[in-house]
Structure 1
Amino acid sequence: MNLHARPRTTIAAAVAAVVAAPALLAVGTPAMAAKETTVISGRLDDSTPYRFLVPDDWNGTVFVDLDFAGSATASRTAERLVEQGAAYGGTTRTVTGWNIPGALANQVEALDRFEDAAGEADRRITMGSSMGGFVAAGVAQHYPDAIDGVVSMCGGLSGTVSQWNQKLDTVFVLSTLLDPAGTLPVVGIPDDVKGSIAAWQQRLAEAQQTPAGRARIALAATIGQLPAWSESEPRPEPRDTEAYQRGWYGALAADSLPYIGQAMSSRRTFEALVGGNPSWNTGVDYAEQFAGASPEARRVVSRLYRQAGLSLAADVSQVDDAERIGADPAAVERFALGTEFDGRISVPVVTMSNIGDQISTVAQQSEYQDEVTRAGNAHLLRQTYVEAPTHCGFTDAERVAAADLLLHRLDTGAWHGRETPARMNRVAESFDLGPARFIPFRPDAFNRPYSPDWS
């Protein structure tokens, strides 16, 4: 990688809240061990810890990451960027949690604290994964003058309200077809979150043992736009109906971070934060949702229903006729603050998604692109895709390549087609940090975009 920011002289040893790197950080590579590295650390106004690694030959570029200070060791991605002369650091989500507005403000405050100690930066970049990727993109919308670029990885960029409406749809279909008595929670998750997760996983495991249950799991996964990919198996061919369905089941209930688990635990957390339920399915046409799914997913579901001897149309009608769930208006307003994306970006943004992500489902990227395009800012956005399963299933090579793409745009003022999979793979392979698996990909249209007319 070539970081072309203005070179810096050696940073002062006696800056506020600074200690030598080995005292706080396990240095993982010989190159980094050979480089003089300073750690700037402290706590923000809300008590959130922050920490930055600053190389002695700092070039003026600084990355801020929501989850950096939560780990005792630096990732190989952070190490490589520091080796190239950038400073890398950030905060944690331990204090803010689902308080996204607070996490956004913390990124800016952490950058300011960094500059108080190290001097003014030439380029301030927000970078992160999962909620960190969401927050990185949110800073661009809410604090456009505070940063120069964004690398958002595996963030649910349809928006807070939007993505959780879609998760509601998935669990609602499962509840209607597999738990018609309504014994398992959909919203209003009880205190015993682990018990709720276990009960749902047991119900889904039982359903997976029957043709009817497998068909209904597939229908719910299709409406929720889940990937048909399990971390324990290769990416399935659409013609392999059984493998395709197993992938859906794995993503939904059986992988190390199951979708149904997050649908219980995170919902319990943010419902408490916003004071009610911010999700609804009043007015949703589930027949239309299914009809808008990808042709390959619809074909697999249809085959499974035929094998089970069930009527797909009857099950969809049953879901459409079920009693709906309404939202608390005040909770919706509070939840939307953190953030519903409107496409109004003024700095370059790189997104990276792996197509088998069961938590930040890849269709959400199409909604983000649509919003940016409608706002007239498509020239500032480049989206990249990786062929891999699991939530945020990237290699360090792919993560550094995403950062390299943004840095090239900031260096030159143009993208020069470097976002193409072939070029991304060449760049990633040059780092010797793991496989490079960028692919051409166009996600399905997101089926639950947020509208202000939600009631």
Structure 2
Amino acid sequence: MRFHRSAALAVVASAALTVSLTSAASAAEAVPIETRGELPGGGRYVVYEPLSWNGTLLTWNPGYGGGGPAASAGPSAEAVAWLTEQGYAVAGVSAGSGWAVEDLLAAGPQVVEVVEDKLGDAEHVIAWGASMGGQVSVALMEQSPDVFDAALPLCGSIAGGIPMLNAALDGTYALKTLVAPDDERLELVDVSDEGARQAAFREVLDSAQQTPEGRARIALAATLAQMPTWSQVGTEKPARNDIATQQDQLYRIFLWGVVSPRQPLEQRAGGNFSWNTGVDYADALRESGGTTLVRKLYREAGISLDDDLAALNAGDRIAADRDAVAYMQQNATPTGAISGPVLSIHETGDAAPVVQQAATYAERVKQNGAGRDLLAQTFVDRPGHCAYADAEIAALVTAMQQRLDTGSWRNFANPHQLNKTADAVTAADGLERGGEFTRENPDEMVRSEREPDL
């Protein structure tokens, strides 16, 4: 907790323990004041000042691309409008391009200073964002605990870019080694032409999917990258024994989830930050959670899984550049060293990042001596990436506000309470409801390490 501006502010902040479900008439009167401007580092910001501030500031961090030409303050205009109606000050930044983590980390504290110069000192400052912006939000709280009191990462790569891209390397390495070992277009690291690389992987994938052997090897490569077997929006969840549909889902997500754009990140880092030195791929498969599916597909194809794993273990390995790794650690591979509350949410069928990022981050928090008193995690069981409904967003922000006001998570972030809050918001304000919050117990990432043993 930061500090109180006044006794009146404390009363208003305390009242945020329950969702203020305003009527349509009062909402129409609560038109926020919008301010836009430039940050000292060259980024752009937007601030929405509510009619009556409750003392909490939410600062939004965009996903891959850095936010584009104009800053936004949340995942949707409807969510921003609802938040300001409840009394939140809401701000956002746009900085850099592509893998803009470094730019956003610099812009985050600056936008807080802008808002506090305008509105006065906030009682609580929450960093939040989606995808890469979720990662930035956690990193901001770790790196600037004097500025940010809490983090609310939505679908965030909260274990960081290094584990995420190491998993991707395992998948692309396996596919190339087993399906097209002599195809030089399939660049694994030190990428020279991202577009040509993507097109080449698509060609190889489509060809391999036409044969039982190729389908088995796609499944192995995707499983080593811990891709979800329910990844396609608008499809039914495959039955446990429906291996054909599960494999098809892995094939369809492979290009987006495994052949992740690497060249822009390597340009930022100044070199290759991924490695597979020392990896035992038989062990990696056992730890992936997908061994049964892969073995069934290999049996159907009539090929030896043991032989393919031996080929992977015998292949030429890739070492990382130490300076590039250091850059990605700083920008940013969160450590889990937190001093304020974090509430994360993931879709179980997300592929970038995978849901295992949540478990990996939770383990880091635990290793740093914090636990359930600071970290809460929730999930929605569906495929897709960052497809949160506005009522889901409202429920998450409400839970975080309750945690900040009381100093304890209590039951605020459990699925039952989150669903109850989202239902109430939808009934009163008409926000899109979305799905159901649920409990999950995902595995950790197979490649959870932050730095190689060089």
After TM superposition, the structure 1 = structure 2 runs for residues 182-201 of structure 1, keeping only pairs within 5 Å, are 182-183=183-184, 184-191=186-193, 193-201=194-202
TM-score normalised by L of structure 1: 0.88
Change (3 A) 1:390 1:96: same
Equivalent position of 1:309 in the other structure:
302
User: 1:110-145 CA deviation, whole Å, 9 max, x = no partner?
Assistant: 011111112221111111110110011001110011
User: 1:375-398 CA deviation, whole Å, 9 max, x = no partner?
Assistant: 111020001011121111222222
Task: Work out whether 1:274 is the aligned partner of 2:275.
Answer: no
Find the aligned partners of 1:162 and 1:279 in 2 and give their Cα distance. Answer: 8
SS in 2 for 1:226: coil
Q: Which residue among 356, 373, 388 is the counterpart of 1:363?
A: 356
Equivalent position of 1:292 in the other structure:
287
The answer as to whether partners of 1:50 and 1:92 remain within 8 angstroms in 2 is yes
User: 1:231-285 CA deviation, whole Å, 9 max, x = no partner?
Assistant: 24222122111111111112213xxxx2245x1x3x1101111111011101111
Amino acid at match of 2:257: Y
The answer as to whether partners of 1:6 and 1:60 remain within 8 angstroms in 2 is no
User: 1:9-50 CA deviation, whole Å, 9 max, x = no partner?
Assistant: xxxxxxxxxxxxxxxxxxxx9875432310122111121110
Structure 1 residue 97 displacement after superposition: 3.9
Q: Which residue among 331, 335, 342 is the counterpart of 1:349?
A: 342
Query: What are the ranges of 5 or more consecutive residues in structure 1 without an aligned counterpart?
Result: 9-28
The answer as to whether partners of 1:212 and 1:310 remain within 8 angstroms in 2 is yes
SS in 1 for 2:175: helix
Structure 1 residue 195 displacement after superposition: 2.5
Equivalent position of 2:388 in the other structure:
394
The answer as to whether partners of 1:7 and 1:60 remain within 8 angstroms in 2 is yes
Amino acid at match of 1:43: E
Q: Which residue among 251, 254, 278 is the counterpart of 1:252?
A: 254
User: 1:147-202 CA deviation, whole Å, 9 max, x = no partner?
Assistant: 121101111121222221111111111111122103211112223x2232122112
Equivalent position of 1:173 in the other structure:
174
Amino acid at match of 1:208: Q
Equivalent position of 1:325 in the other structure:
318
Structure 1 window deviating more from structure 2 (69-78 vs 345-354): it is: 69-78
The answer as to whether partners of 1:37 and 1:56 remain within 8 angstroms in 2 is yes
The answer as to whether partners of 1:174 and 1:220 remain within 8 angstroms in 2 is yes
Task: Work out whether 1:42 is the aligned partner of 2:37.
Answer: yes
Change (3 A) 1:79 1:30: farther
Find the aligned partners of 1:71 and 1:451 in 2 and give their Cα distance. Answer: 31
Task: Work out whether 1:375 is the aligned partner of 2:368.
Answer: yes
Find the aligned partners of 1:30 and 1:304 in 2 and give their Cα distance. Answer: 60
Equivalent position of 1:12 in the other structure:
none
The answer as to whether partners of 1:64 and 1:111 remain within 8 angstroms in 2 is yes
Equivalent position of 2:5 in the other structure:
none
Structure 1 residue 333 displacement after superposition: 1.2
Aligned length: 421
Change (3 A) 1:442 1:280: same
Query: What are the ranges of 5 or more consecutive residues in structure 2 without an aligned counterpart?
Result: 1-8, 14-23, 427-431
Structure 1 residue 71 displacement after superposition: 4.5
Structure 1 residue 435 displacement after superposition: 2.1
After TM superposition, the structure 1 = structure 2 runs for residues 34-433 of structure 1, keeping only pairs within 5 Å, are 34-67=29-62, 69-71=70-72, 74-93=76-95, 95=96, 97-183=98-184, 184-191=186-193, 193-229=194-230, 230-253=232-255, 258-260=256-258, 263=260, 265=261, 267-294=262-289, 297-378=290-371, 379-432=373-426, 433=432
% identical aligned pairs: 33
Find the aligned partners of 1:395 and 1:245 in 2 and give their Cα distance. Answer: 29
After TM superposition, the structure 1 = structure 2 runs for residues 12-51 of structure 1, keeping only pairs within 5 Å, are 33-51=28-46
Equivalent position of 2:3 in the other structure:
none
SS in 2 for 1:40: strand
Task: Work out whether 1:435 is the aligned partner of 2:434.
Answer: yes
Equivalent position of 2:429 in the other structure:
none
Change (3 A) 1:30 1:234: farther
Find the aligned partners of 2:163 and 2:402 in 1 and give their Cα distance. Answer: 32
SS in 2 for 1:145: coil
The answer as to whether partners of 1:397 and 1:428 remain within 8 angstroms in 2 is yes
Find the aligned partners of 1:101 and 1:352 in 2 and give their Cα distance. Answer: 23
Q: Where do 4+ consecutive residues of structure 1 move more than 6 Å?
A: none
Structure 1 residue 96 displacement after superposition: 5.3
Amino acid at match of 1:168: L
Equivalent position of 1:25 in the other structure:
none
Find the aligned partners of 2:26 and 2:238 in 1 and give their Cα distance. Answer: 40
The answer as to whether partners of 1:278 and 1:327 remain within 8 angstroms in 2 is yes
Find the aligned partners of 1:239 and 1:291 in 2 and give their Cα distance. Answer: 19
Find the aligned partners of 2:189 and 2:29 in 1 and give their Cα distance. Answer: 53
Find the aligned partners of 1:344 and 1:287 in 2 and give their Cα distance. Answer: 32
SS in 2 for 1:36: coil
The answer as to whether partners of 1:5 and 1:411 remain within 8 angstroms in 2 is no
Change (3 A) 1:321 1:39: same
Find the aligned partners of 1:249 and 1:429 in 2 and give their Cα distance. Answer: 36
SS in 2 for 1:124: strand
Amino acid at match of 2:156: G
Amino acid at match of 1:401: A
SS in 2 for 1:347: coil
SS in 2 for 1:42: strand
The answer as to whether partners of 1:428 and 1:436 remain within 8 angstroms in 2 is no
Structure 1 residue 76 displacement after superposition: 2.0
Find the aligned partners of 1:291 and 1:382 in 2 and give their Cα distance. Answer: 28
